């Protein structure tokens, strides 16, 4: 099946720094990628929808200036957490929709961010 990778899988950063997380579709072209956030023992919450070549659409309550999303190609989307704070510590997961199959969603393995 289709594979989505994320890098890094784990990152620890200091408060005030920025962190970039990459999401790649390895064997298919993804017209749309989604970014989710999961707090411990809580559900997956959609943060934003990223379409290749256009601005991301953010869900209500998600700060677009803090969580910068770039979808520069059909196989890569990046999420940059700017000026990270301890409350941004979370598990970030991306998913991608295959161009060939608009409703199949493939999930990345996630990135655990810890801000100290």
Residue 11 found at the interface with another protein (CB under 8 A): no
Exactly one of 41, 54, 60, 65 binds another protein (CB under 8 A); which one?
41
Question: Interface with another protein by CB under 8 A: which range of 19-27, 65-73, 78-86, 90-98?
Answer: 90-98
**19 and 11 Cβ atoms separated by less than 8 Å:** yes
Residue 53 found at the interface with another protein (CB under 8 A): no
In the bound complex, what is the minimum distance in angstroms from residue 59's beta carbon to another protein? 8
Residue 43 found at the interface with another protein (CB under 8 A): yes
Element of type H or E holding 70: strand 67-73
Burial 95-110 (b: 16+ CB within 10 A, else e): bbbbeeeeeebbebeb
């Amino acid at each position: 099946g289709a594979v989505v990778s994320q890098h890094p899988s784990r990152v620890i950063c200091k408060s005030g720094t920025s962190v970039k997380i990459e999401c790649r579709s390895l064997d298919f072209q993804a017209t749309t990628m989604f970014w989710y956030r999961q707090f411990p023992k809580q559900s997956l919450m959609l943060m934003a929808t990223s379409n290749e070549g256009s601005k991301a659409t953010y869900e209500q309550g998600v700060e677009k200036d803090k969580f910068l999303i770039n979808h520069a190609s059909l196989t890569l989307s990046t999420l940059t957490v700017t000026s990270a704070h301890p409350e941004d510590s979370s598990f970030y997961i991306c998913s991608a929709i295959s161009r060939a199959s608009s409703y199949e969603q493939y999930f990345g393995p996630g990135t655990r961010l810890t801000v100290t």
